[in-house]
Structure 1
Amino acid sequence: MELSEAIEITRVRDAFMRKGPRPSQQGELCIFGHHLIFAPSGTETSKSGENPSEEFWILHRAIDRVLCEPVSKEYPSKGGLLALKCKNFLIIIFEVANLEHCKAAARSIEALSNLNGIVHDYPFFYQVPFNVLDDGWISFDVEQEFARLSLLTDAFRISRVNEHFSICPSYPTTVIVPKGIGDDYLRISATFREGGRFPVFCYYHNLTKSVIMRCGQPLIGPTNRRCREDEVIINSLLTISKGFIIDTRSKTVANAAKAKGGGTEPQGCYAQFRYVHCATPRIKEMHDALARMVEACNDGSVSTDKWLMRLSNSGWLQCISDCLNSAANVAQCVHCESNREVPVIVHGGEGTDTTLITTSLAQLILDSDARTIRGFESLIEREWITAGHPFRLRNAHGAFAAGLNTGQYESPVFLVFLDCVHQLLSQFPLTFEFTESFLIFLFEHAYASEFGSFLGNNEKEKFKNEVKKRTVSLWSYIHHPETLRQFINPLYDPRPKVLWPTVAPQSILIWERLFFRWQRDWAEIDGIRSSSEHWKLRERSLMSRAAVLRGVTIELSKEAANQNVNGVIGISQ
């Protein structure tokens, strides 16, 4: 289908923006294949200094829900209201003079924002206006990861058992696996694991020589099926200590999965592993919690007590707390110095959602490199994009709508991860090289973007649609110097220590800049923050200068002392 076939009306005149990201103003709406454009007719300047006469562009993919109703039911001739609820929680309301034009625009936007597949998405048509200095498609790959791992241990190898995606459609073609395990064992293990997701390497903690692996749930089913090849793979990780199998499901959910063909590893076959349930929310729970959270944050009419109750009942902060707790448990198993060389296996059901939240957050807790901008990008690329998180299915809609075709699969899993990172950033503000604006930027691009990094559900879809040949990586844009400086934390003080977050209820904060982004005026807060950062940088500059002067003073003192000694010697002679 051509995009033009979905457009009933290309231009809507006499559109008045009642509510949106800028002051109310008159203009006209222009509907194109990928964008909705609001062109204001005024030339006045807002109090913030922004020129509201500039066009406002929004990707159709960024629109979550479209609503259309008459301004007055008794008098349809007064026109219609067009409400656009976006995936980044922005709500835009236009008043259109002609009701029929308003309905036609609503139908067009609804169709363009819900196209199936990715072949019509904007990244395939986007022409970059900047020079690509760093190709993000080759910046992070498994060969580089393995090269760094080889400097620490020789216990792993690279396997291309999944070439042509024949074993596991959600894995990349190249994975890191235990060294002593042949590809034939991996193929058999894939038949025993959900989605073919056999155990693969995630992270090696050099301090304790412990390793994190991830996989899908075992398909033991009601018949208690065994797979000796899988047992060999898991048990080959054991050296001097017992291991842990971390299940991101509650015990009840894991037992219920057995009746459907899934289940948990039988203790008798994995006797050297301790089984731990670290319950995290299911994807449906996350979806419903976000919807309630956004609804509460958009309702300013209730009293404080009722609002706090709605906040608690939303369950969103509990989702964040549970995921952080699960990751902290994994990190504790890995970092515990009393148990060295501890293998930790992490899985939930399919291994594409809460499993990835847990393993990626555990690495942020343990590894200071993951807290840099480039290290965090590598973490997302490795643990989310190439690990098979189904971005297209999960992010088809957001908090305001549920899709007709993918409704049961939609869930803000990646946003839960980003909110957890924001909690770490709030508790340890000096240990991350990036700011919260970087996290919000990633959140928006995960749902709608001109870049191809988050397109599709896995590497197989990317390969089939030639995403890496026909689109530009998001990391290429971020690595451009003009962009990169926007996300650097001026207070960054790199420290190699492990971060131990608190998950007490009073420590889990609302991500205000995300959930109240469009309701509040942030100019004053941004001014205070900018001033604080300026003086912090000034302090560092003065401290650096003082250190240099101290060094010069010490050198001059040594020279003076030597001259005095030489003078005394000369007199004595």
Structure 2
Amino acid sequence: MENIKVAKVENVKFLNKGNEISGTLHLTAYHSIFSDLEGKREIWTAYSMINCVRLCLNEKTYCIRIQCRDFMFYCLKFQNSTDAMDVYDTLRELIPVSSVSRLYAYHYMPTGEEGKVQSGWNLFLLENEYRRMGVGDSSRAEGAGANWRLTKINENYMECQSYPQILAVPTSVSDSVIHYGCKYRSKNRFPTLTYLHKNSFSITRASQPLVGLRQNRSAQDEKIVEAIFATSIIPGKENLIVDARPSTNAMANIAVGAGSENMDHYRFAKKIYLGIDNIHVMRDSLSKIVNALRNTDISAVPPSVEQLNKSNWLKHLTNILQGAVLIIETVHFHHAHVLVHCSDGWDRTSQLCALPQLCLDPYYRTIQGFMSLIEKDWLAFGHRFAERCCHLPGKRIFSTDNSSPEEQHSNSVASSTLQYTFCTFRSALSGFAIDHSEKMSSPVFHQFLDCVWQIMRQFPKYFEFNERFLRRLLYHLYSCQYGSFLYNSQRERKQSAVSQHTRSIWDYFISRKEEFTNLDYECYDDVLLPNATDLKWWASSFGQPDENMNVALSETSSSAPLLSSSTSQSPSVPV
């Protein structure tokens, strides 16, 4: 460990939410560890979790303010400037890494029960999950299972680099049609099955079509979509093509050669735009939450409700959940198929495919099932975790300031300058500089977990896993302790042999299953229909007690979520 100035500093004060603890700071290769004077408490911080490091030096104060990606914000106060500078310089050497192979996941060796469990890398096979749904089985899905087949056309990732090797397509569609049809979709992400419901209707996913200014069309793409909508035992009367984007965004993409379906060529369905904003809007939304929470290291004062509301975080969740409810209703109540896409089909599309399945299929509400859902719709289908989570932020997360934390707090309450805001309150997912990694970061998976928590809150007994399961999953999304969320696709993980060099995230949960099991769990073998407007702040995911963020929200909603039966009807969802 060259250029490391210090590994241990005594007489350090740890400040969080206005509470101060005295103790010793240790700096190891992958963690900082603060231990109190009595040795009864240790606070570990994985370097991959650190999102912002700010050195504050003046005549009165020598401290480092740290923001973590799990919204743990704290301040380290030192006895002198030398200790503060040494720790700051050491962190500058230890935190940034130049390649994925230098992340903690490649060095982590579990002990105890976790080291004994069967590897989580072997728990999930997409082919088995398709078989579980009934693909290829004439006795399943009301007999429609035989209308689907598995194809290995993408076995070498030659057709689509961001899709899995095994895919499910209509039996009536040949691999030749897929080969030519995939070229009509952005990144070659052609329409393919993600979920076959027990009533024979399906959820399929894709990316935007390459319509362009010339209004291009593809006979093969039209054939694939028509074949998908014909797989049910009876034709769907209200088949939907769901474009997750605002219509203006979709139309703007026409100028760059993409766009949305011309429904004159897809007469067997109708199309709806959901108006869910893109990754850049969502990143800005989370940045505003970070801004509202910025002083929770030195102050116990709750975040400003006004600032939280300006983030529009809950409004974005409402839009996502309204889209999910629409898909649930279409598939289960209206007996029709749904094809979902956004732009490239790996962000909003993953949210809108996974959330309905959680409500349609009780298997996905079990611990094993939820892990399978994430493996399928997020990992196998190519959500770009490395880009969205910015696992390699570099040294731009470091900055210095000559004012004390108290002065910074006072200044920010009164009026903060644009420069100060830019330097200090960056997104929880990216760095200071406006570079490629920052532009591509976004809390897409965080939003998904938040939506899951909202549904769990409405149906607390019908999920085998508890809230802690979701919080730890969110933590390890950024911790880089496990290899599951590294890289941007299944193809990249296989090329890098991640499963041979790292542990699976599921090892962590399986070895501690009792910690993450809902003790009140009841298996409800039917469909859940959540209320998309009955939302609260998931305060614990932002490191806050519930009363700090939900003080202005009503505990009850004007309308309750619904438990469905196979014959019940549901009102339409305004989108």
Give me the TM-score of the superposition, normalised by structure 2.
0.81
Determine which structure has more spread, i.e. the larger CA radius of gyration: 1
Match of 1:259 among 247, 255, 262: 255
Could you tell me how far 1:357 is from its partner in structure 2? 0.4
Aligned counterpart, 2:242 = 246
Mapped partners of 2:14, 2:358: distance in 1: 42
Out of 385, 398, 421, the position equivalent to 2:452 is 421
- Do structure 1's residue 102 and structure 2's residue 57 form an aligned pair? no
> Partner residue of 1:544?
none
TM superposition shift of 1:146: 2.6
2:420 matched to which residue of 1?
none
Number of the residue aligned with 2:501? 470
Q: What is the CA–CA distance in structure 2 between the aligned matches of 1:13 and 1:237, rounded to whole Å?
A: 64
Counterpart position of 1:282 = 278
Aligned Cα RMSD in Å? 2.5
Asked if 2 retains the 8 angstrom alpha-carbon contact of 1:21 and 1:90, the reply is: no
Which amino acid in structure 2 is aligned with residue 137 of structure 1? Answer: W
Letter in 2 for 1:142: L
Per the TM alignment, residue 251 of structure 1 is displaced from its structure 2 partner at its CA by 0.9
Call closer, same or farther: CA 1:219–1:56 in 2, change over 3 Å. Answer: same
Supply the AA of the counterpart residue of 1:196: N
Change (3 A) 1:81 1:400: farther
2:47 aligned partner, one-letter code: H
Deviation of 1:217 (Å): 0.6
| 1:110 positional shift | 4.0
Residue 308 of structure 1: CA displacement?
A: 3.2
Alignment correspondent of 2:123: 139
Indicate which of 98, 103, 106 corresponds to 1:124: 106
Paired letter, 2:500: K
Given the superposition, is the C-alpha separation of residues 167 and 104 from structure 1 closer, same or farther in structure 2, using an over 3 Å criterion? farther
User: Residue 307 of structure 1 corresponds to which residue in structure 2?
Assistant: 304
Query: Cα offset for 1:117?
Result: 3.5
Are 1:509 and 2:496 an aligned pair? Answer: no
Give a deviation string over 1:413-470, Cα, whole Å, max 9, x none: 0010011011101111111111111110100011114221111111122112110111
What's 1:496 paired with? 525
Distance 1:383 1:132 in 2: 28
**Hey, what does 1:549 align to over in structure 2?**
none
Deviations 1:159-186 (A, max 9, x none): 2222232222211222222222222222
Residue 228 (structure 1) aligned with residue 219 (structure 2): yes
Shift of 1:401: 5.9
Corresponding residue of 1:452: 483
**Unmatched 5+ stretches in structure 1:** 45-50, 522-573
- TM-aligned CA deviation for residue 298 of structure 1: 5.4
Distance in structure 2 (CA, Å) of the matches to 1:222 and 1:193: 15
Aligned positions of 1:133-282 closer than 5 A: 133-148=117-132, 149-150=134-135, 151=137, 152=140, 153-207=145-199, 209-239=200-230, 240-242=235-237, 243-282=239-278
SS of 2:515 mapped into structure 1: coil
- 2:315 is equivalent to residue 318 of structure 1: yes
Q: Tell me how far apart the structure 2 counterparts of residues 262 and 111 of structure 1 sit (CA, whole Å).
A: 43
Q: Which amino acid aligns with 1:145?
A: E
1:470-503: CA deviations, max 9, x gaps?
Answer: 11111122112xx100111111111122111112
Q: Distance in 2 between matches of 1:21 and 1:56?
A: 15
- Where do 5+ consecutive residues of structure 2 fail to align? 394-425, 549-575
Q: How many residue pairs align between the two structures?
A: 494
Comparing 192-201 with 173-182, greater Cα deviation is found at 173-182
Shift >4 Å, 4+ stretches: 297-304, 518-521
Q: How does 1:325-336 map to 2 (within 5 A)?
A: 325-336=322-333
Distance in 1 of aligned mates of 2:228 and 2:201: 10
SS in 2 for 1:485: helix
1:407 matches 2:438 = yes
Cα distance, 1:272–1:160 mapped onto 2, change above 3 Å? same
Mapped contact 1:216–1:350 kept (Cα < 8 A): yes
Going from structure 1 to structure 2, the CA distance change for 1:120 and 1:308 (only over 3 Å counts) comes to same
Alpha-carbon distance change, 15 to 195 in structure 1, aligned in 2, over 3 angstroms: farther
- Measured after TM superposition, the shift of residue 330 of structure 1 is 1.0
Using the size of structure 1 for normalisation, the TM-score is: 0.81
Q: Could you tell me how far 1:260 is from its partner in structure 2?
A: 1.6
* Aligned-pair CA distance for 1:136: 1.3
Matched-pair contact (CA < 8 Å) for 1:279–1:326: no
**CA distance in structure 1 between the aligned counterparts of 2:324 and 2:93, rounded to whole angstroms:** 40
1:350-361 matched pairs, under 5 angstroms? 350-361=344-355
Shift of 1:145: 1.3
CA distance in 1 between counterparts of 2:300 and 2:19 reads 25
Between 1 and 2, higher relative CO (CA 8 Å, sep ≥ 6) is seen in 2
| C-alpha contact (below 8 Å) 1:38/1:56 kept by paired residues | yes
Distance 2:178 2:20 in 1: 60
Asked if the contact 2:388–2:440 (Cα under 8 Å) also holds between the matched residues in 1, the reply is yes
CA deviation map 1:392-423 (0-9, x unaligned):
11111784463244000111100100110111
Change (3 A) 1:123 1:303: closer
- 2: CA distance between counterparts of 1:187 and 1:36? 51
Percent identity at matched positions? 29
Contact 1:62 1:113 in 2 (8 A): no
Structure 1 Cα separation of the partners of residues 170 and 428 of structure 2 = 44
Pick one of 72, 75, 83 that aligns with 1:93: 75
Amino acid at match of 1:440: R
> What letter is aligned with 2:344?
E
Name 1:56's counterpart in structure 2.
43
Once residues 430 and 264 of structure 1 are traced to their aligned partners in structure 2, the CA distance between those partners, rounded to angstroms, is: 40
